[in-house]
Amino acid sequence: MLFLYSFLLAVLIDTVFGDPDTIYKRVWHPVVWFGKFISRLERLLYTVDRDAKKEYRAGLKLVVRLIAVVGIGAFTIHFMLTKFEYGWVIESFLASTLIAQRSLYLHVKAVAVALLDQGIEAGRTAVSKIVGRETKDIDEPAVTRAAIESCAENFSDGVVAPLFWYALLGLPGLAVYKAINTADSMIGHRNDRYENFGKTAARLDDVVNWPAARIAGCSVAISSLFLGGVSATHRAFKVMFRDARQHRSPNAGWPEGAFSGALNIALAGPRTYDGKLVDGHWVGGEGERNSDAVFIKAALQLYVLSCAFVAALFALAVFVGSSFGYFQHSLYF
């Protein structure tokens, strides 16, 4: 049962402490280590001869080496920690660094606070830190949508997926997932440099996030029962199942659809990237389009409930699974 305790403690540590600046000003965050390793592999493997097949193979080699090094490294750390009586406590701390519950909450909250206290310019600046689209000329409803979309997408990628892979495959699974996710954010772009080189990272990130996105969406829909009652839950499921497949991402539409229906707000739609207007499909287009910071506050309440629901769900799965002899990936059993 030590793995269950380790899982619960990791969630608790991240919930209470998040990523303390006092620590990560002195020591690189694990994701920074992943990023530096990915950059080094890119320098070694990237080809400049513009041959699509060579670029694809080079990107594939990068991902394979990344998974091998991170997976073996994480398993070695896990194995070494099992030799100590309280090694599971140290593992909980390490695992907590790869979960983003608190940091996501604080970043999204900062957008609402900026809008309410300082106005639209401050809101644009705050939201620019958590989205990739251009924000310099967007209005308050667009700032609100961007913040809630970031909350929804990162709930799946930064909370549900890490907890899913940690519960399923232990610390190695969590670390490998986070490495893949970091690789996608760095090289999984559709541009001249990464169209072929980053294709493996982008596709693999879609695969490893596939189950988490659906779990995240259903968790949000169920959790909305405690905020908006049966009608909110009904809308959340309706919008999610109707609009998720129309989203530009194979995964992001699920949590976005659930947030959209639960809050009765229109999300996604047109936005600008690199000076180009992208005419995206609306998620929950019948919802409120003239939204404001109040919707962000409601989204954060729903986010907190959803985090609690998911943590309890996976903890229960670990408990039941361990009772029947599953989850033997953890040497703590």
Classify residue 54: in a domain, yes or no.
Answer: yes
- Please tell me whether residue 190 adopts helix, strand or coil conformation: coil
- Please tell me whether residue 28 adopts helix, strand or coil conformation: coil
User: What is the residue-averaged pLDDT of the chain?
Assistant: 92
List, in sequence order, every residue forming a beta bridge with 272; answer none if it has no partner: 277
pLDDT band at residue 270 using 50, 70 and 90 as cut-offs: confident
pLDDT band at residue 327 using 50, 70 and 90 as cut-offs: low
Classify residue 291: in a domain, yes or no.
Answer: yes
List, in sequence order, every residue forming a beta bridge with 277; answer none if it has no partner: 272
What is the DSSP annotation of 30-96?
Answer: HHHHHHHHHHHHHHHH---S--HHHHHHHHHHHHHHHHHHHHHHHHHHHHHHTTSTTHHHHHHHHHH
**Are 99 and 77 in contact, with CB atoms under 8 Å apart?**
no
What is the DSSP annotation of 233-250?
Answer: HHHHHHHHHHHGGGSSST
Statement: residue 319 has pLDDT above 60: yes
pLDDT of residue 321: 82
Task: Tokens for 172, please give them.
Answer: 């190695």
pLDDT of residue 50: 75
CB 222: neighbour CB atoms within 10 A?
A: 18
pLDDT of residue 51: 86
Classify residue 331: in a domain, yes or no.
Answer: no
Classify residue 268: in a domain, yes or no.
Answer: yes
Picking from 176-180, 266-270, 276-280, which range would have the lowest pLDDT averaged per residue?
Answer: 276-280
Classify residue 253: in a domain, yes or no.
Answer: yes
Percent of the chain with pLDDT over 90: 79
Q: How many domains does the chain have?
A: 1
CA gyration radius, the chain: 20
Classify residue 89: in a domain, yes or no.
Answer: yes
Condensed to tens digits (0 to 9), the pLDDT of residues 126-159 reads 999 999 878 888 899 999 999 999 999 999 999 9
Host domain of residue 25:
2-323
pLDDT of residue 323: 75
Classify residue 332: in a domain, yes or no.
Answer: no
Statement: residue 14 has pLDDT above 70: yes
Statement: residue 333 has pLDDT above 90: no
Strand boundaries in 175-315, DSSP class E: 267-268, 271-273, 276-278, 282-283
